[in-house]
Chains A and B, each alone.
Chain A
Amino acid sequence: MLSKRIIPCLDVRDGILTKGVKFKGNVDIGDPVTAAERYYEQGADEIVFYDITASAEGRNIMIDVVRRVAERIFIPFSVGGGIRTVDDMRRVILAGAEKVSVNSAAVENPHLITEGARAFGNQCIVLGMDVKKVAPSAGTPSGYEIVIQGGRKYTGIDALWWAQEGERRGAGEICLNSIDADGTQEGYEISLTSMISTQVRIPVIASGGAGKPEHLTEVLTAGRADAALIASMVHYQTYTIPEIKHFLQGKGVKVRNLW
């Protein structure tokens, strides 16, 4: 049986590991390559890098980070943030990333998913979705709306529809981030996660809100997620990955042991 994946998310700005709260203010917390290596050694099942750099030079620094990570860790990792073209995808894949994640750019140009899947295979393309709870309406019947540009811009697109559209277009996986829960450390948004995860056939990574191991149990069982993204709870070393996995095993959640 497949193990549920525990995935640390590293936000990187100009080559430095950083962590933001609700897309406001960021604090620098170290070297992303060192952090990735530490999580690999601890038994992370995958790593997600999110490049929040604005400048072109910063993007080149990120490619260098990807290359150095790929030489040291031998688990899959994905890179998202600022991926706007198939060429952007190719750069990070050639630098050693297993997957690329597209978010705002896919909303603005859905062909990016289709073209990326055709060029590199569905398994390479992760559809990142930033979602906010809204009153259900004709345009957003699921009660969840896609927001872009770091949570600043509402799109009027229904989150469930977009998840299914992404799957049709060839995304191999969905990384589902609740803007409402992100950075709160008060738990994942369970109803959103289970709604999306049960209505697509591709794996769903839950993101936003992890603060304690109980939150992961909840999202990996009731939330039906295939994987859980974590950030603050390990970046500040409140918990280690083995502690989280041990807790999950005690709750009957199948996770991978480190050998």
Chain B
Amino acid sequence: MSEPTNGAPPRRAGPIDVELWPSALSARVVEPGPVPRVHGYDVEADLARHYSFAEIALIALTGSAPERSHGRAFEIALAFLAPVPVSEAPAHAAGLARLIGADASGVISGAAMGLAERARHVVAAHAELVAWLDAGSGPPPPSVQSDDPEDASAVARLREALGEAGAAFPLLEASPTRMAALLGVLHGVGLTDAPRLEAALSLAALPATIAEAFAVKPFAFFTYPMDLPAFRYVEAADG
């Protein structure tokens, strides 16, 4: 029971006060301390010398160190996923935030939030693909196949880059869309659930999205197409 000092009646213990709670926060991935470790691997003496930044991200997300070909495949997929142009909402919003004077923290958190929402939307739209990848058999769902030549070219470049790294993913032979192919690669290197796929999509695009926003000049209002798209106000009675 806590005793107020201002003459008010004493407060009675509430439900949080009487429950027995753990006395410490649990750390499950990053071991804090002078020798920081990720999933047991020494970051400074081991991972920093033997693994790329992207591979360390993959270790963090999967819990184990990847084979070289999988590490390289992950890097290639992240590279393909890195550019999110200003036409897409996350980069547009981050740039608009910069225009109206957001500081770096505001731009970065806005970009991260927008990219996380975009990733959630993309992965949800590919739920059928993820289920097929989990099952690991049968033909891929028609919804992720494409006869668009731009998709075919991108997938061919992806296949070529992966081939140089010694990595092959069967989905790439089935005329997938560009995004389906990339999700297939991410799934193949161990990111097998929606949260981890969303994490990879968000991480990949964050640097270029932030950079696009940082390139905007704050308060240069007349450089921004304020009436694009053109919102047209209609009153309810106008239909």
> Do the two chains belong together in a single complex?
no
Question: Chain B residues in contact with chain A, CB under 8 A?
Answer: none
